Structure formats: C-alpha cells, structure tokens
Amino acid sequence: GQFPQGQYAVQARESLAAVYEEDKSTRIRAIQLYRQLLSEPSTAERHHDYQFRLGLLNLKRGELDQARYEFRTLLKDYPDSAHIAETHYLVGYSYYLEERYPLALAIFDQLSQRFPDTIHAQQARFFMADTLEEQGQVRDALRIFESLEGRYHNEEILATRIQSLRSRLRRSVR
C-alpha cells in the first residue's frame, strides 16, 4: 500500500500543481495540491518551496491576508529557506497593494537592512522611494533613489525618477 504515497504520486502532484498554477481558474486546485504535498514526509526538503508557492498563489488570487499567513508560516518554520528575502519583500508588497504604506515601508526597510545585497532589497527600496514620493516626501524619496544608482536592475527608470525629483525640488526652491 505504499505506492499512492510513493515517489511517483508525489512527482505527479508536483507536476499537476505547477500546471494548475499557470491558469487563474485552477489556482485553487494548485493550492490544494501544495497543501497535500506539505503533509508528505518524503518531501520535507521541499516543504519550504511548497509553503512559498502557497503564499504566492494566494497573493496572485488577491487573498492578501491568506498570502501573508502563508508567508509568515514560511518565515517562522523555514528560516533558512532560499525564499526568505523574497518572502519579506512579498509581505511588504501585499501591504503596499492595500495602500497600508506605513506597514509596507517598515517591512521594506527591515528587508533592505537584513538582506541589503539582494534584488528584493533593491526593489523594496524602490517601492519605499515611490511611496515616500507619493506622500510628498520628495527629498527622502530622492535620497533613496540615489542610493540605488549602479545597483538597481533598471537604471533607465531609476535615472528618470531621479531627474524628475531633482527638477521638482529645483522648482520648489525658486
């Protein structure tokens, strides 16, 4: 009786979950499959991946509270996961999506201090600057954008934002 729980059944569920993830209408099914895979002892070394996928799928479905729950479970249960920096970023991003800017800023700041050299920290700093600019804190936004020079993956958009803020500040001084 071990075969239904055997390695081929696990591989089939993993493959199916990956396929279901791609289509909006079947994401709930992917979530169910990842939940089953999380209870499978033979896949313990991949549980952190499944937990991450659960957070991501809920985020994509717009279930932000559930996404945060899944991400926080990953942070608590799998502190050594390769997904830690990205998970922090996505928790902050979920608050950003809800326009809960103080929470988003706090998490983005924490991420950029804990994992300063990751692409997720750079993206978090970009969102921090963007949020500060939206709130009229132009100098603070500019300072953060400038700190990303030479480190951000999209130098073109960064240069545009910096130029725009510098000219805003020059206009306001006159």
CA 121 vs CA 45, 134, 146, 159, 164: distances in Å: 26, 20, 15, 18, 23
Integer Cα distance of 124 and 107 in angstroms? 9
**Residue 4 clears pLDDT 60, i.e. is over it:** no
Predicted pLDDT at 29: 96
pLDDT digits (tens, 9 = 90+) for 70-121: 999 999 999 999 999 999 999 999 999 999 999 999 999 999 999 998 999 9
pLDDT digits (tens, 9 = 90+) for 47-70: 999 999 999 999 999 999 999 999
For the residues of 92-151, what is the DSSP string, one character each?
Answer: HHHHHHTT-HHHHHHHHHHHHHHSTTSHHHHHHHHHHHHHHHHTT-HHHHHHHHHHTTTT
**Torsion on CA atoms 85, 71, 39, 31, rounded to nearest 10:** -110
pLDDT category at 3 given cuts 50, 70, 90 is very low
Mean pLDDT of 8-17: 90
**Residue 5 clears pLDDT 80, i.e. is over it:** no
pTM (two decimals): 0.86
pLDDT digits (tens, 9 = 90+) for 142-159: 999 999 999 999 999 999
Mean pLDDT of 4-32: 89
